[in-house]
Amino acid sequence: MYSPFSEIKVEIFGASHAPEIGVGIEGLPKGKTIDVSKVQAFVDERKSGFNPWSTPRKEPDEVIFLEGIENGTLTGKRVVAVIKNTCQKSSDYSEYRYTPRPSHADYAALIKDGEKADLAGGGRFSGRMTAPMCIAGGIALQLLEKHGIKIGAYVSSIGGIKGKSYSDGEITYEEIENAKAKGNFALTKTEEMTEKVITARRNGDSVGGSVECIVYGVCAGLGDALFAGTENRISASVFAVPAVKSVEFGLGTGFMAETGSAVNDAFCIKEGKIKTVTNNNGGINGGITNGMPITVRVGIKPTPSISIPQKTVNLSEMKETEIIIRGRHDACIVPRAVPGIKSAVALAVLDLMAEQRLL
């Protein structure tokens, strides 16, 4: 699967229950240093098992760099890195060839790939594919940091419980990092959100939520109008994360019930620089960054695989039937989607920087 970028080409390969998953990245700036231990630490952030409700699939997810980085420096050639899959239990998935799981990709994959469809562990549609995305993201984050750009991401809601959002006022990068250091996936109400997930899990159900991502230190002038817009490019990247169903910028859908006088971002001068008083447009006007932080809110659906009986169709008998899904599934994937979303945003911004010849 290839990225929708113009300068940085990212290919994610493998599948959930294949021997390995991995990533190839072309177009990275030769000679820049990369701390591979920091990339590993970032990949580790997405691992299952850090929440009380998480799926029991626990794997070391050791990143093996095959080419493109030598002595901690980008060689200018394609970077290739893989992660071995060590915890496959494919027998859990054979029945979905005949009775596809509602809201999962089983039926769509069978239509697309026919007999050779790989549904084991969710195949190439699995949330596990965000692990190689995080390898590329971990590299992108380090390269962006060399240009003073930092990206923070956190859970802003789960199951209707709303934590602190950038819509409530300014959020600093340090605030996001401090919450993470304390083991909180949200800036506020982590415990209430956790309770919501535990209740859903107890009922054999699942819950969705939202993740917010803020890009700090990005210069004005990235992106362009119409199809070349910064929003277009970031959205195309973020939708690569499975279970993402909406992407909005700044106030997003909040604009719909508002008046211009209430939500227009007035210009001002701060420390000699042109800024806006509010940032309802999420740092982007006309598809071009305006120098304010880029703010993105991502909507994630409830985990499709739930153990409550659901209606489906037996495809071989062409009969409506019921399915009860067993096996290893998170009652909420929102916190685990955070590093994937951060990676997707980082890669899109890196690509926009490369396009402007700023790397």
d(Cα 54, Cα 38) in Å, to the nearest integer? 24
Parallel, antiparallel, or unpaired for β 294-300 and 288-289?
unpaired
Contacts of residue 117, Cβ cutoff 8 Å, sequence gap at least 6: 97, 109, 110, 123
For ligand FMN, give the closer residue by CB, 151 or 243: 243
For ligand FMN, the closer CB: 344 or 352: 344
**Shortest gap between Cβ of 239 and ligand FMN (angstroms)?**
8
- Minimum CB separation of residue 120 from ligand FMN in Å reads 13
Angstrom distance (rounded) from CA 134 to CA 344: 8
Q: For residues 14 and 127, which CB has a smaller minimum distance to ligand FMN in the complex?
A: 127
Closest to 248 in 3D by CA, of 227, 225, 231? 231
Closest contact distance (angstroms) between CB of 6 and ligand FMN is 24
Q: Which residues form the interface with ligand FMN (CB under 6 A)?
A: 55, 104-105, 122, 125-127, 130, 241-243, 301, 303-305, 329-330, 333, 336-337, 340
- Residues forming a β-bridge with 87: none
Q: How far is the CB of 78 from ligand FMN (least distance, A)?
A: 25
Cα(351)–Cα(336) distance, rounded to whole angstroms?
24
Nearer residue to ligand FMN within complex by CB, 118 or 330: 330
The packing angle between helices 130-145 and 36-45, to 10°, is 130
How distant, in Å, are the alpha carbons of 154, 292, 358 from that of 254? 19, 19, 33
Q: Which is nearer to ligand FMN, 133 or 359 (CB)?
A: 133
Q: Give min distance, CB of 188 to ligand FMN, in A.
A: 23
To ligand FMN, the closest distance from the beta carbon of 51 in angstroms equals 11
With CB atoms as reference, the residue minimizing the distance to ligand FMN is: 127
Residue nearer to ligand FMN on the CB measure, 57 or 189: 57
> Contact 68/32 with Cβ under 8 angstroms?
no
Q: Minimum CB separation from ligand FMN for residue 71, in Å? A: 32
Tokens 């955070």 belong to 338
Cα 185 from Cα 194, distance rounded (Å): 10
Which residue has 């109008």 as its token pair? 225
Q: Do the strands 273-276 and 284-285 form a parallel or antiparallel pair, or are they unpaired?
A: unpaired
Cβ closer to ligand FMN: 112 or 270? 112
Amino acid at 266: A
